[in-house]
Structure 1
Amino acid sequence: MSSTPATVRSRPRWWIELLLIAVLYEAYSLSRLVVRGDVDAALRNAERILHVESLTHLDPEHVLNQVVSSHVFIGVVCDYAYATLHYVITPLVLFWLWRRRPEHYRGARTTLAIATLVSLAGFMLFPTAPPRMIGGFTDTMAHFASWGWWGDGASAPRGMEHMTNEYAAMPSLHVGWAAWCGWQLWRLGRGRVLRGLGVLYPLLVVVVVLGTANHYLADVLAGLAVMGLGALASPWLLRGLDRLRDGVAMRREASNKATPPIETK
């Protein structure tokens, strides 16, 4: 009896993937509840980040925010990009992998899940107010709110600000997810268009999150770091899960062979 290698397993069931998404969303909700009321700590952490960036002269947020907030067309485009792209592009890339590259799906999905969970832990342990809450920056989402559905709660629809964690700047999941999407398109896409999008999309998101004053450069670097951590940890986790599943299957098979059949008269 031949066994299927762990690396050639079939495409995961869709309902299991939806369940995983639901678990991640509940984890995000938990992070929102944990940091609620910790405004002072979030503002202090933001000031520390700005102080370190100013000492190293690595603080492009101010210049980009001035450009985005001073031009209506650029500002509205960036605001819509911030409010929509990560909700659209990331699921599309996930579905594309599940449908077209099933042999790579488990590893890619696990990388994304690990990085997301690490980021959620970061939100709880290091709550950080975004630049738009600090003096010297323009909240472009509020500035151009008449052009979209959002109010003063980042990209959350008006009246639903309570459903978002406004102190989740560090690390930037926008950038982390965009880097993950770009990586998948670059390494698995066929043709120059997909691979080109794999390069341009993360760069666009970096400009958007800095220009709209929703993230610091430090958040961008942290978002890339957690995605790299997810990529490193994913193979180890999958090998462990595969060994566990194979061990359970082997014990079950051995148990079935050891159980004598019931004779019927």
Structure 2
Amino acid sequence: MPHATTAPVQRHRPRWWTELPLIAVVYALYSAGRLLVRGDVATAVDHGLAILHLEQTLRLNAEHPLNRLLTAHPSIGVPADFAYASLHYVVTPAVLIWIFRRHSAAYRAARTWLMTSTLLGLIGFTLLPTCPPRLLDAGHGFVDTMAQYSSYGWWGAEASAPRGLGGMTNQYAAMPSLHVGWALWCGILLWRHGRHPAVRAVGVAYPLVITFVVMGTANHYFLDAVAGAAVMGVGALLATPVARLADRVTARCRDRVAVRFPGRFATAGAGAGATVVSAGCETSAGERIPGQRTSSADPIDAASPAASGGTATAGDAPAAAR
């Protein structure tokens, strides 16, 4: 009998009761990190002005006309403020749940991509605290539409945070724009996995709408949006290595637990990377495992008791065993 080999590892559908705490922990770390990396306001203002001057030099300054459009027309400005304050936290989880339920094979890669990019964005907030256009001096020509239309929504004059909770957010974490980055993540997944043309159309429109919103509400510069897209691109490249690293760490932790608590994973199936129980064992010539069926192609030893119907004796042993 040939030596048994290790069974191939099978990917199982992720379980929601393990995924939900993981996502909650990562988002909590991200939110706490945003608060902890608050830099000096003067430095953040300098960075914001440097970005604005660079855009003006490159003739990329689209924030002013878009901001004037939303300021002059409440019918556009109010919905834009609602979109900025809510879609970031509604559409992204909805797309993640949709991928989990409808396209489970792609879920793990999509989740890893999103988490990796989000942590990269946190690094950007740490290294480059940036003042958004709305917080610059009024002489620079920007109007805070969130403050202008605050009576229409739950937010006050401090970004999209509910009234009285402005201190719970970092208003100088503008570079990169994860509003745009997460919207791009949603759009790519909707385009790639959507079957209906309408779903794919939403995948194209959603990142463009969010880019318009973050610039028109004076919450981000155009280069913030570009940086958000770049972060998602780098996150996509790192998603596979990060997933492999996570697999190694998980396997190492499982091995340590197995050594410390023998028998804990004894009943694990082949999908968990378990080996066949009989690996490395061989049967003697003519020996049968009880209950094992004999293939019609297997030769039956004429000297065996089953073939002769006689009683087994010491002289009846097969020649190969002598």
What TM-score does the superposition give when structure 1 sets the normalisation length?
Answer: 0.89
Secondary structure in 2 matching 1:157: coil
- Are the aligned partners of 2:187 and 2:202 in contact in 1 as well (CA < 8 Å)? yes
Structure 1 distance, partners of 2:23, 2:135, is 30
Structure 2 distance, partners of 1:124, 1:147, is 33
1:35 aligns with 2:38: yes
Q: Return the letter of the residue paired with 1:155.
A: S
Deviations 1:114-134 (A, max 9, x none): 100000111111111110011
Question: 5+ residue gaps in structure 2?
Answer: 1-5, 259-273, 280-322
Change (3 A) 1:151 1:250: closer
User: CA offset at residue 246 of structure 1?
Assistant: 5.5
Structure 1 distance, partners of 2:106, 2:232, is 16
Higher helix share: 1
Q: Return the letter of the residue paired with 1:32.
A: L
What is residue 94 of structure 2 aligned with on the other side? 92
1:147 aligns with 2:152: yes
Structure 1 distance, partners of 2:160, 2:144, is 11
User: CA offset at residue 63 of structure 1?
Assistant: 0.6
Deviations 1:53-78 (A, max 9, x none): 11101110001000011101100010
1:157 aligns with 2:162: yes
User: CA offset at residue 33 of structure 1?
Assistant: 2.3
User: CA offset at residue 16 of structure 1?
Assistant: 2.7
User: CA offset at residue 13 of structure 1?
Assistant: 2.3
Q: Work out which of the residue numbers 78, 81, 84 in structure 2 matches 1:79.
A: 81
Structure 2 distance, partners of 1:89, 1:228, is 20
Structure 2 distance, partners of 1:240, 1:133, is 41
User: CA offset at residue 217 of structure 1?
Assistant: 0.4
1:194 aligns with 2:199: yes
Change (3 A) 1:107 1:70: same
1:166 aligns with 2:168: no
What is residue 21 of structure 2 aligned with on the other side? 19
Structure 2 distance, partners of 1:213, 1:249, is 49
Q: Work out which of the residue numbers 108, 111, 125 in structure 1 matches 2:110.
A: 108
Structure 1 distance, partners of 2:164, 2:229, is 32
User: CA offset at residue 32 of structure 1?
Assistant: 1.2
Q: Return the letter of the residue paired with 1:154.
A: A
Structure 2 distance, partners of 1:60, 1:27, is 30
Instruction: Describe how 1:223-262 pairs up with structure 2 within 5 A.
Output: 223-243=228-248, 245=250
Instruction: Describe how 1:40-79 pairs up with structure 2 within 5 A.
Output: 40-79=42-81
Structure 1 distance, partners of 2:249, 2:148, is 53
User: CA offset at residue 182 of structure 1?
Assistant: 0.2
What is residue 175 of structure 1 aligned with on the other side? 180
Q: Return the letter of the residue paired with 1:148.
A: G
Q: Work out which of the residue numbers 5, 8, 33 in structure 2 matches 1:3.
A: 8
Structure 2 distance, partners of 1:26, 1:132, is 27
Change (3 A) 1:257 1:215: farther
Aligned residues: 253
Change (3 A) 1:144 1:249: closer
User: CA offset at residue 243 of structure 1?
Assistant: 4.9
What is the alpha-carbon root mean square deviation over aligned residues?
2.1
- How high is the sequence identity, in percent, across the aligned residues? 52
- Are the aligned partners of 1:10 and 1:102 in contact in 2 as well (CA < 8 Å)? no
- Are the aligned partners of 1:28 and 1:120 in contact in 2 as well (CA < 8 Å)? no
User: CA offset at residue 21 of structure 1?
Assistant: 2.5
Secondary structure in 2 matching 1:214: coil
Change (3 A) 1:125 1:68: same
User: CA offset at residue 14 of structure 1?
Assistant: 1.9
Question: 5+ residue gaps in structure 1?
Answer: 259-265
Change (3 A) 1:69 1:239: same
- Are the aligned partners of 1:11 and 1:102 in contact in 2 as well (CA < 8 Å)? yes
Structure 1 distance, partners of 2:101, 2:147, is 38
